[in-house]
Amino acid sequence: MIKAWNQLLKKTAIGTTATALLLSGALTGTDDGWNREAVAAAAVTADKQVAITYPAASASVTLDKRLPLKKQLKLSDDVSVRYESGNNAVARVNSSGVVVPVAPGTTNIRINVITPGYSGGLTLPVTVKAGSASYKVVTAVKKVSAGGKSFSVQTVTIPKGMPVTAALAGRRVGALQQLQEIAQSYRADAAINGTYFEAYGGVPDPYGTVITDGVVEHIGNTGTSVGFKWDGSAVMDTLRIKVTGATDGSYKFPNNWYVYFVNRTPTQGIASAVMFTPKRGNKVGFSYGKAVTVRKGIVTKTGSNQNADIPSDGYVLVFNGSEAKLADRFKVGTKVEYKVSYTNAAGQEIDWRDVHTAIGAGPRLVKDGKLAVDPAKEGFSSPKILTDGGARSGIGIKKDGTVILATVPGATIKQWGNIMLSLGAYQAMNLDGGASSGLYASGKIVTNPGRQISNSLLFSNKMKW
């Protein structure tokens, strides 16, 4: 299955700057009193001013929630912006404009335009207050018959809207911890193991997609993903993610670039284009390929065959094999931006912009209240998924939005789908299983994994984001 998964992964305007030039130094040197060269230079080089507005003069967020700032901002032009917190001890803000509370207090969130040829900014005071979430998780063992066999299914039922996140072992991509350790680190009320990962040697990178706080932290682009939106609802689809970039304001050749992995260790000499975010840790973790370091939207360093440092206010791009030529598009001082797009496996655009948390694994078990098991179509080839029985973990969504976390021993995937139907799932998908299968609730292990895991999907009233 791991081998199959790896194969699949593969208007010109004069702004304030120009005005200042006109008033300060462009009134002499010609017959009519105008320095035509200075005026022309100002018109060409001046940035267009972008108006950034927020519905209120300030914002607030409670400790049990996050604030999707980008979702509420209005920009007068379609430009890229950078977010920065004045005090990370009160609240952090990430590249997707999501404010993550840390402790009660007030700080300023600064939003600045980074697209070349444009300028503008906004400083927004944000106050963090105590949380009051009080969702109740319910643990139960349910007897279910499927495919002529009786199963004891461990279940945890979670109300719609309970705070949720995709948790990482050690809070970074490429590490391992016990499920209970991950859950306790985030102060979880309920947790289940997440996507598949490299469990048999090498860096324990995930195989499936991981989205945390609205930021893509790993791209799997195979199987099925479950996502949670800001309104508390959940979606499930064959999510495929594309990351495309620009240098010096242009997304066209020869300024364009792309990556098809995020936070995944590439194979030396094999074509790859990978972005490494701060969720990877302090370094990329290997010393080959051509690396480009970007801080605050500007290239600060380039180099080859080095274990590059990952800046806390940026990312590192590493181009390997035949993709190494892409690194030539970056020089120190180059302005860089990128965008993320979402489609399904058929290439149709899907709106996942409001999804703040996602885990990709699969295969799909239930779709719109009906059995929907077709692992081969989703790219799975291992008998462990296609035909064999085994320990399973999965997530189901009822029609009213209630979440079901469940584990079961000895079930085939088809039996697992029928079990999910019996539990009342309207949508359901399989998660990593076997020795990874684990479930945690209310401070206790319900199903004990047989090994450490790299990631988890967890829910909490008092989340330590």
Structure confidence at residue 46 as a pLDDT band (50, 70, 90)? confident
DSSP for 278-331 reads GGG-SB-S---SEEEEEETTEEEEEEESS-PBPPTTEEEEEEEGGGGGGGGG--
How much is the average pLDDT of 382-404? 97
DSSP for 328-381 reads GG--TT-BEEEEEEEE-TTS-B---TTEEEEEEE--EEEETTEE---TTTTT--
- Which tokens is 232 given? 């508390």
Q: Which of 178, 231, 236, 233 is nearest to 209 (CA)?
A: 236
Question: Could you give the CA distance from residue 34 to residue 29 in angstroms, rounded to a whole number?
Answer: 7
Question: Could you give the CA distance from residue 393 to residue 429 in angstroms, rounded to a whole number?
Answer: 9
How much is the average pLDDT of 206-220? 98
Residue with tokens 């684990």: 438
pLDDT at 85: 98
Say which amino acid occupies 155. T
Question: Could you give the CA distance from residue 225 to residue 238 in angstroms, rounded to a whole number?
Answer: 6
User: Residue length, the chain?
Assistant: 465
pLDDT at 45: 60
| Domains of the chain, earliest start first | 52-129 (2.60.40.1080), 138-209+223-235+354-459 (no CATH), 242-340 (no CATH)
Q: Coil, strand, or helix at residue 43?
A: helix
pLDDT exceeds cutoff 90 at 5: no
- Which tokens is 282 given? 């302090």
Question: Could you give the CA distance from residue 74 to residue 55 in angstroms, rounded to a whole number?
Answer: 9
Query: Would you call 206 exposed, middle or buried from its count of C-beta atoms within 10 A (0-12, 13-18, 19+)?
Result: buried
Alpha carbon 23 to chain centroid, angstroms:
47
pLDDT at 1: 47
Q: What is the pLDDT of residues 321-367, one digit of tens each?
A: 999 999 999 999 999 999 999 999 999 999 999 999 999 999 999 99
Stretch among 5-9, 48-52, 111-115 having the lowest mean pLDDT: 5-9
The percentage of residues in the chain with a pLDDT greater than 70, rounded to a whole number, is 90
The separation between the first and the last C-alpha atoms of the chain, rounded to the nearest angstrom, is 32
Q: What is the pLDDT of residues 415-459, one digit of tens each?
A: 999 999 999 999 999 999 999 999 999 999 999 999 999 999 999
Say which amino acid occupies 275. M
